[in-house]
Amino acid sequence: MATPPPSLLTLTTDFGREDFHLPRLKGYLLSAAPTLRIEDISHEVPPYDIVRAAFIFNRVWRHYPAGTIHLLSVNDFYQPRGRFIAVRHERHYFIGPDNGLFSLVFGRMPAETYVLDGYKKTDALSAIYARAVAHIARDKPFLEIGLPATRITERLAFQPVIGPNYVRGTVVFVDRFDNVTTNISRDRFEEVGQGRGFHLLIKRMAPIDGLSFRYHDVPEGEPLCRFNSDGLLEIAINLGRAATLLGIQMDDMVQVEFY
């Protein structure tokens, strides 16, 4: 099935909104491709944090229409000879630095991956991105956007460890409500648990026994665990701030032990 002509561009950056970096980038992009509509995914990614960027981006990009261009600008100059890539995958387009971010998004290098070329080291970052976006927006042959990539930089995400009676994972995200998301998926949980009871252990808090469906399944102020809409095990407090009150931080270990 052919990819429809692009009309939408999403942005995911670690720029924040307090200075000139984001509006300057948008100015370059709109000057190069004025017909595109720009949608912000997030500009509050912590500086240089490609793991957080990939987690946020993976929660949303498939919900945008086919033909969308996704620009990810996080930790762009991670090394002196950094490079930039463009990808076409599942009828979407992706542009960003080759710093491990795309390995976290896709797992493996998509077949249609190209290294952007034809720019000078002195070119502004915004100009490099605008040129690539304009190439796609004008519906030029995608294979002419750069040189075919033979590899991309890999950054391996920590995967849960499983045993006969446990799943051990880590905290991978804390949202603005201080709800804590782990990397333990429903599929992995059910594969090991086989319908058995369990308790969840993290930090020095009392074990949590049993799954909740909604936050208010427990009394106000009580902790709970549930699977969120992405199928990942989440720790929360009903009308409370779990990460702060329980002292939970990114990369903390979480263990589910089955009876």
Residues of the chain with confidence (pLDDT) below 50 = none
Q: Taking phi first (over 0 means left), then psi (-120 to 50 degrees means alpha), and beta for anything else, what does residue 215 get? A: alpha
For the chain, give every domain's residue range: 8-148, 161-258
3-state secondary structure (DSSP) of residue 89: strand
Give 95-112 pLDDT, tens digit per residue: 999 999 999 999 899 999
User: Mean pLDDT for the chain?
Assistant: 93
Collapsing DSSP to helix, strand or coil, 116 comes out as strand
pLDDT digits (tens, 9 = 90+) for 195-243: 999 999 998 888 999 999 999 999 999 999 999 999 999 999 999 999 9
Residues 57 and 12: beta-carbon distance below 8 Å = yes
**8-148: CATH topology:** Rossmann fold (3.40.50)
Separation of alpha carbons 191 and 86, rounded Å: 36
The Cα angle at residue 218 between residues 212 and 222, in degrees rounded to 5: 110
Token pair 């890999």: residue: 154
The model carries a pTM of: 0.86
Domain 161-258 CATH superfamily: Bacterial fluorinating enzyme like (2.40.30.90)
